[in-house]
Structure 1
Amino acid sequence: MSFRILCAGSVCLDTVVRLGTDSFPKPGELVPVPSLINAVGGCCGNSATALARLGAADVRIAALIGDDAAGALALSSLEKAQVTGAMICPGQSTAHSVVLVGSEDRSFLYCPGVNEDLQLDECLSVLLSRPFDALLVTDPFLTHVGRTALAELLSQARIQGAVTALDLCWDPSGQWAEFTDGCWPYVDIALANLEEARMVTGARDASHCASYLCQAGASMAVIKMGAEGLLIRSADETLQVAAQQVECQDPTGAGDWCNAGVVMGYLASRSAQVAAQWGSLAGASAVRTLGGSTATPLPELTASLARYLTATEEVSP
C-alpha cells in the first residue's frame, strides 16, 4: 500500500523503565530494575513508527528534535523505522519522557524541550511539499498554536486531497474543547480515548462522546476504550469492536498504534469496519513489548495488511 502519510505533533526520547515493584525507591536507595530501554516516543513518533511498520510506503513527520544526545537517539530510532522529516533545532533540547511501568499502570515524567516551539508554518511547509494521502495531527500541536492555526492546517490538508485525522491525546491544560472548537468540520477521523473525549465533549459514555464529535462536524469518531475495545460512529453506522486478547507487557503507545491502524484501515478500504478492526489489532500489537515504538504487528494484522496490499496491486494499472 503506497500510502504517503504526514504526522504532525510531538516527538521525544522515551526512557522506559520496567519496575520490579509498584513502589518508588526511598530517598538514597538504589533499586535494580528488570529492564530499561531508550526509544523514540511522543504521540507523533509512536504513530509514525507504527504507520511505517504497518506498511505505509512514505511516512514523514512535522516535528522538532534538538541536536543533543537524546535527539540523536530519537532520530536513530526514526531512521531505523524509515520515518523521515524530523526538523533538527541547533542548540535546543529534545523532549524527553521517563516512563515508569509497574504491574498495574504507568507514571510519566516529561520535559517538553523543543516540542512546544512547533508552529503552523513549519507544518504547512511539509504538508505542501508533496501530495499526502493522509494527515494525522497529534499533541501538543493542538494547544500551543491555537484553534485558528489548527483549522488552517486541517483545511489545507483537505484542499490537498488528504484524509485528515485528529488525535486529542491527553490535555494537561484542560482547554482542548476551546482549541478544537470549529476544527471538527475539517476532520475525517476524530480519535480520542474515553477520558480525553469526556474532557472535550462533556459527555460520559463513549456513544454520546462519539455523537458529539460527529455533530460538531467530524466525519467519523473513534473512541478508544482500552480493554473494552473501540467504538466508531459515522453518519452511516455505529459499531463496536472488542479488544484483542494478548499478554500486556506495557500499554505505552497503544493508543498511538491504534490511531495508525485506524488510518491505514480507512485508507485501504474506506470502511469503518476495517478501520476499527485494524485499529484494535494495532493497539494490541503495541502492548506486547516495552516502549511505545518497539512493537511489530500481530500476525493477524500482518495477514490482513497483505490481503489488501495484494488487492491494491491487482487493480493498479
Structure 2
Amino acid sequence: MARVLCVGILVADLIGRPIENFPEKGKLLLVDEMSLHVGGCAHNTGVDLHKLGEEVQIIGKVGRDGLGEFIINSLRRRGMDTSGILFTDQANTSATMVLLDSSGERTFLHYPGANRTLRSQDISDEMLAASQLVHVAGSFLMPGFDGEETALLLKRAKALGKTTSLDTAWDDTGSWFSLLEPVVPHLDILISNYDEASRISGKEELPDIGAFFLKFGIQVVAIKMGPQGSFIMTPQDKVLVPPFTVRAVDGTGAGDAFAAGFIFGYLRGWDWYQVGRFANACGAMCVQMMGATEGVGSFEEVAEFIRSNGAYLGGEVN
C-alpha cells in the first residue's frame, strides 16, 4: 500500500556541464560532462521519499518511446511501483535539456510532451484510498492537468480523508494565481520557491506571501529559498530555517528533494524547525552530485549530514 502518492511530471533529463556560453550557430562546443538521467518533479520527489524509507507510488504519463522505457526501467531497478505510470500515444515522453554552468546554476529547455495528457481520471479512487498523502509535483508544467483537473483530483482526495500537498514550478504562460485559484481550497500543504510564490501571490515579504495562501484554508506554507534556507508559515507559526553551506555541482532536483524531506518530516509530526532543517538538508545533499536524485541518501545518511553540519534546535530527529 502506497503511503504517499506522487502525481505529476516525468521527464528524461539530458544534463551537460559546464556551459557558460552558447556556440555560434553552426558551430560546436565541447563540454566536460553529459549524461542522461530520469527527472521530473513527481519522479524526483517520489524517488527521494523512497530512498528516505517511505512507501511511494508515482503517477504520471510517458510516451511509447525509448525515453518512456528508460524512465520506467529506472524506477523498476530501484524497486519502485510503476503500475501508476501510463503510456500515451498522443505525445512523446517529456524531456529537458539541462545546461549547467560552473557554479551549478541551471538553464532549461523543456518539452512538456506526455505530461500534457495527464488528467484527474487517470488516478483511480483505489489509488487515492491506498495513500495517506497525495502530492502534486510540477504544477504549471502540465497544461491538461493544471487548474480545474488538479482541483478535481485534490477534492476527491480530501473527500477520502487524505492530506493534500502541491509543489509549484515556473509558469512560463504567466497565468500564475489564475491557474492555481481553483486548487488552493483543496490544499493542506503548499510548497513553492520564493520567486514562484511571490509571482503567484503578488507579494514580496515572506509573511505576506504566507498569509496570502493561508487565507484559503491551507494549513502550512513552505517557501524554498536556496542559499537563504527556507521559510515555513502556519496560522500559528512563522519559522525561518537556516541553510546548509555546501559546494553546488548541480541544482537539478534540489527543490524536489526539499519537498520530499518536508513531506517526510510532516508525516512524522516533527516541529516545524525540524521539518525545515531536514528538508533543507535533503536539498543541500542533492546539489552536491550530478542528477536530480543521486545526492539524497537514506534517512540515516540525511540525519548524519545534519549532525555533521550542526544540531537541530529542540533536539535530534527520531
TM-score, normalized by length of structure 1?
A: 0.88
Match of 1:291 in 2: 291
Match of 1:65 in 2: 62
CA contact (8 A) 1:40 1:75 kept: no
In structure 1, distance between residues paired with 2:106 and 2:301 = 27
Aligned residue for 1:87, secondary structure, equals strand
CA contact (8 A) 2:266 2:275 kept: yes
CA contact (8 A) 2:11 2:93 kept: yes
Aligned residue for 2:156, secondary structure, equals helix
The residue type paired with residue 96 of structure 1 is A
Residues 239/64 of structure 1: CA separation in 2 closer, same or farther (3 Å cut): same
Question: Shift in Å at residue 180 of structure 1?
Answer: 1.7
Match of 2:266 in 1: 266
Q: 1:277 aligned to 2:274? A: no
Match of 1:314 in 2: none
- Which structure 1 residue ranges, 5 or more long, are not aligned? 312-317
Match of 2:20 in 1: 22
Aligned residue for 2:38, secondary structure, equals strand
Aligned length: 303
What CA RMSD, in Å, does the superposition of the two structures yield over aligned residues? 2.3
Q: Deviations over 1:162-203 (max 9, x none)?
A: 221111211111113012214323211101101100111000
In structure 2, distance between residues paired with 1:214 and 1:253 = 26
Match of 2:302 in 1: 301
Q: Where do residues 168-317 of structure 1 align in structure 2 (5 Å cutoff)?
A: 168-269=168-269, 271-297=271-297, 301-303=302-304
Match of 1:50 among 48, 51, 57: 48
Of 292-301 and 78-87, deviating more is: 292-301
Aligned residue for 1:50, secondary structure, equals helix
Match of 1:119 in 2: 119
In structure 2, distance between residues paired with 1:218 and 1:35 = 42
Question: Shift in Å at residue 303 of structure 1?
Answer: 4.6
In structure 2, distance between residues paired with 1:133 and 1:153 = 14
Match of 2:136 in 1: 137
TM-score, normalized by length of structure 2?
A: 0.88
Q: 1:99 aligned to 2:98? A: yes
CA contact (8 A) 2:250 2:291 kept: yes
In structure 1, distance between residues paired with 2:285 and 2:116 = 29
The residue type paired with residue 33 of structure 1 is V
Aligned residue for 1:269, secondary structure, equals coil
Match of 1:153 in 2: 153
Question: Shift in Å at residue 295 of structure 1?
Answer: 2.1
Match of 1:77 in 2: 74
Aligned residue for 1:63, secondary structure, equals strand
CA contact (8 A) 2:249 2:289 kept: yes
Aligned residue for 2:123, secondary structure, equals helix
In structure 2, distance between residues paired with 1:48 and 1:126 = 19
CA contact (8 A) 2:296 2:302 kept: no
Match of 1:315 in 2: none
In structure 2, distance between residues paired with 1:197 and 1:143 = 19
Of 258-267 and 43-52, deviating more is: 43-52
The structure whose residues are more often helix, as a share, is 1
In structure 2, distance between residues paired with 1:271 and 1:40 = 32
CA contact (8 A) 1:135 1:163 kept: yes
Of 81-90 and 221-230, deviating more is: 81-90
Q: Identity over aligned residues, as a percent?
A: 28
Of 72-81 and 231-240, deviating more is: 72-81
Q: Deviations over 1:229-267 (max 9, x none)?
A: 000001221101111111110111100110011011000
